[in-house]
Structure formats: C-alpha cells, structure tokens
Amino acid sequence: MKFLDQAKIYIKSGKGGDGAISFRREKFIEYGGPDGGDGGRGGDVWVECVANLNTLIDFRYQQHYKAKNGTPGMGRNRSGPSGEDRIIKVPPGTQVYDEDNETLLADLQQPGERVRLAKGGNGGFGNAHFKSPTNQAPRHSNPGLHGEELTIWLRLKLIADAGLLGLPNAGKSTFLAAVSAAKPKIADYPFTTLHPNLGVVKAGSRDFVLADIPGLIEGASDGAGLGTRFLGHVERTRVLLHLVDCTQEDVVGAYQTVRAELEAYDAELAEKPEIVALSKIDALPQDELKTRFEALRNGSGKRPLLLSAVSGKGVDEALFAIARQIDSQQAEEQAADGQQSKQWRP
C-alpha cells in the first residue's frame, strides 16, 4: 500500500428540500385547506476516525464528497425525508485544516471520534405551516436552504510512542528492521526511506510503537532533500532516538545539523526527550570509537549509547531506555490530567 499523508478534498452538505404548496381536495369536503408538507433536511458531512486505516491513499482517487439533498415536501401534510449523511473515514492521527492549510478544524486521534464539517441545509416550510385565521389559504412556501461547501486539507500525523531521527544512512531503517517485524527498504545510498515506517517493538514486558522518519540534511527546513514534510509524524511521539553514524568524521556536526533543523521546524519538537546513540559501532576500531564517543558526549551534553543493529550490540539497552522514557512521560501526563480534574469545579 502506498503511503500518503496529505490530501486536499472538496466537501458539500446536502440542500434542504423545498416546502410544498398543496390543498386538500376531496369529495364532500368543502373547505379542505392547505396541506403542503415541509421539505426534508439536507445531509451533513462528517469525518470519522476508524482503526483499520493507516494512510490517506483513498483520497488520491476520490476528492469530492457530497451528502444527499433533502426530499421536497408533498401534499396531505407529508414531510420529505432528510438526506443521508456522508461520512468520511480517516486513520487515527488525522488533522483537518481549512483551505488555507493553517486553520485547524478537527484533530482525530482515537477510533470512534467524529466531527461534523459541513451542516446540511434546513428544509423549507410547506404552505400548511403558514395558515392562520387571517390567512386560511396561503399560496406560498419556503425553499430549502443550501448546504455548506468547503475545500479542506487532511494531514496525517502517525501516532507512535517513539521516533527515530538522524541524517540519511544513519542506520534508522536497519535498527527498525532489527527490533520489529517491519521491513523498511535498506540500501547503502542516501534517502532509501521515502516515507515513514512503523514497527511494534517489545522491550521486556513493554510494547511500544517506533516510527522511522526519513533522514534530514542541512537546509531541510528550507526544502533541501526531502524537507521537513515528514517531521510532523514525530510531533506526537513521547521520546526521540537520535542515531549518529559513528563512521562519520564529524559526529558532533551530524548531531547539530539535525538538531538545528528540528528547532527550525518546531521549537516544541526540539524540546522532546531525546536519547542519543552512536550507530554502526562494529565498523570502527575501539580507539577511534572511544574518540568519537567522547566528542559526541561533549557536543551533545548527553552520554550517548553505543549500538549496532547488525550485530545486536547495545540494541536491548536502547530499547529499555526508550521504554523507561515512555513510562516516565506517561506518568507525567497522568499526573497532569489528575491535577486538572481536581481543579475543575461544576
């Protein structure tokens, strides 16, 4: 299945049905009076989060979504039925933006959540609605109101517990393939990963979802390489594993390049908890590895982990470090939610 994380679609809710103009005409009934029914209401357009989707690829083949119109009213005081709603199904983590691609309309994270994007038009009143002692034979009715039309953007941000960051060929896809059942493309040239990959990882008794994000290069915030388009997928993560290829001469420069692009994209994203690791440690002699370890520790201000996804060295240590950080973040979020609930007053 091809991965698609952004789509532009057009939606339109249903028009309300027109009210009817009708009079009761039956044998032996001299004064039948008006009996025109009201028109039915137009259908709404809803967006709903469902669990069995993980991409927006369906919206590449269909961009127009319209709800049904309401049925006009009829004689004998028969009201028209309302139009059928149109439900747009999206994967968890989908955000809905207005046409300007900046105004957030909805953020759907849990399956079952739904939001009405376009309200259907009300049905018009039939002439029976307007009868009164002074107007016993009204000959007018109301037309149904038009529905709403919108052009919206759907933007998918994958929901993962942890995200992998680094320059191209830092070993992110190899690490994901080694610790999960995911099968990302792996090759010895840059930008082998062209879209995010997800894998479920087990660390002891703890399971979490790990996202592999395409590599960043210097100038990504200005559009270089693949740009920062895929960085939105790590906005929902609780911790970042930053892999630095130890075979590079300047490991500090590699680390700072990615950090600079993170800060240029979103300052809050740059403040997320980060675990730094030197990858591909089986490709260097011990003395050179020690030198680059010390350089990265001084340059990042953190003690980097040492790992090799190919040989498995240090992989378990990295996974348990990620799991501990996720548990810590979850505990902080639960504590914050508890404080908010205590402060609430009816």
Largest CA distance in the chain: 111
Q: What are the Cα distances from residue 172, in Å, to 134, 178, 244, 245, 339?
A: 80, 10, 9, 10, 38
The segments of the chain whose pLDDT lies below 50 read 1
Is residue 226 within 8 A of residue 183, CB to CB? The reply is no
Domains and CATH numbers, the chain: 1-156 (2.70.210.12), 162-341 (3.40.50.300)
Is residue 158 within 8 A of residue 51, CB to CB? The reply is no
The whole-number pLDDT of residue 34 equals: 94
| 111 SS3 class | coil
The whole-number pLDDT of residue 1 equals: 46
The whole-number pLDDT of residue 120 equals: 97
Question: Whole-prediction pTM value?
Answer: 0.78
pLDDT tens digits, residue range 232-244?
778 888 899 999 9
What torsion, rounded to 10 degrees, do the Cα atoms 251, 253, 254, 256 define? 120
The whole-number pLDDT of residue 190 equals: 63
